[in-house]
Chains A and B, each alone.
Chain A
Amino acid sequence: MSVSEKIVADFVANGIEFVTTVPCKQLGGVIDAVEKEPKIYHIPSNKEDEGMGLCAGAFMGGKRPAIIMQNTAIGVTVNTLVTLTQFYRMPLPMLISYRGELKEPVACQVEMAVHTKALLNQLNIPTYHFHKPGDEQELDAILKYTFMCNKPVAILTDATFWGGY
């Protein structure tokens, strides 16, 4: 089982049936695995705040959601995270590619990387960072925690993590 398949298997094991995505090169494998999983309705969104709206609706309709996006999307979702997801107290696992970290080839990505953890911290969003292969073993516990506390929770996955596979 590839790491992407393992991540999606954890989603399914935690009852996640509705996943929205905006691609990142680092997330290509996991997005493919979501698309292939028959137990998940995969709904690509055009902007991540739109995706969080879809997830809020799916949750209220009775389905556990998740969003897969790049860390640059933190910049376009702050208002939605605080006035929708947090204000109405809804769970939202956010599997995030942490671009702009070690091994990053594109300088511009670093500009959001330096703000990523600070913004998540400012928003009081519980944040986990997968840096080394094997760190994904915590995913199952993170998902359980997310649906226990009804909060958005960030899972940052960097190039060292993905490159290790």
Chain B
Amino acid sequence: MIRSEIIRDIAPILRDQLVVCNIGLPSQELHLIDDQASTFYMLGTMGLSSSIGLGVALAQDQTVISIDGDGSVLTNFGTLPTIANNVADNFILLIIDNGSYGSTGDQPTYAGKKTSLTAVARACGCENVIECQAEETSSVLQGAINSKKMTVIVAKCESGNIKVPVITKDPVVIRDRFMTEVIRRNA
């Protein structure tokens, strides 16, 4: 399975949650497959999906899922200790680990080589870290939501991309409809 197949699998689960989606193809794929006002699409700023998601989770009560990539977590490793030490039980970090910088043409990352993001997350103090195969992602994700415990999921999948259009929505529109949804769901 490749990332777009995982996103297709989990899209029905994501609908009911607040989602922060990583820059590049992950956002473009989710936008194409099931665009929701409750998704904050990152149009830039590689690395900060987990930080933005943790911020949203700490500020309100609804479950927040940050969809991240292995390359992006590698570029913002500092996020893992911050997550570990600021427990938000409404926060799930879903790292789709395809072992490559998929959005820029699948150049290999160190996560696809010797480095285990699962081991790094545990070493940083994250308490519920689950590594799973691509096929298991939706059941593991649903389990994490039900557990109401802050969880880091590392979903291992193959490299590879489908052709998707870029997102042309205005960033302020993306942000405004996301915030409106945050208010509505917390009401």
Contacts and interface: CB of A to CB of B under 8 A. Distances in A.
Interface of A: 18, 41, 43-47, 49-63, 65, 79-80, 83-84, 87-90
Interface in B154-187: 171-172, 174-175, 178-179, 182-183, 186
Contacts of B59: 18, 57-63
A62 B182 CA distance: 8
Contacts of B175: 60, 88-90
Contact of A41 (B58, B178, B186): B58
A81 B170 CA distance: 17
Interface of B: 20, 40, 42-45, 47-48, 50-60, 76, 78-79, 81-82, 86, 171-172, 174-175, 178-179, 182-183, 186
Contacts, number: 115
Contact of A46 (B45, B82, B182): B82
B51 A54 contact: yes
B44 A83 contact: yes
Contact of B56 (A41, A43, A58, A90): A58
24 contacts: A18-B59, A43-B58, A46-B81, A49-B48, A50-B51, A50-B79, A53-B47, A54-B54, A54-B58, A56-B48, A56-B51, A57-B51, A57-B59, A58-B55, A58-B56, A60-B59, A60-B179, A61-B182, A62-B182, A62-B186, A63-B60, A83-B45, A87-B43, A88-B171
A58 B45 contact: no
Closest 9 CB pairs of A and B: A57-B55, A61-B59, A53-B51, A46-B78, A83-B44, A53-B48, A57-B52, A63-B59, A61-B56
Nearest to B183: A62
B45 A57 contact: no
A47 B20 CA distance: 20
Nearest to B79: A50
Given A84-B44, A87-B44, A88-B175, A60 B58 contact: no
Question: Chain B CB within 10 Å — which of A44, A61, A83 has the most?
Answer: A61
Given A46-B81, A60-B179, A54 B43 contact: no
Contacts of A52: 48
Contacts of B44: 79, 83-84, 87
Contacts of A57: 20, 51-59
A79 B45 contact: yes
A87 B167 CA distance: 14
A80 B55 CA distance: 15
Question: Chain A CB within 10 Å — which of B42, B57, B82, B172 has the most?
Answer: B82
A69 B10 CA distance: 38
A82 to B, nearest CB: 8
Contacts of A43: 58, 82, 86
A62 B186 CA distance: 10
Given A43-B86, A46-B81, A54-B82, A61 B57 contact: yes
B174 A88 contact: yes
A79 to B, nearest CB: 7
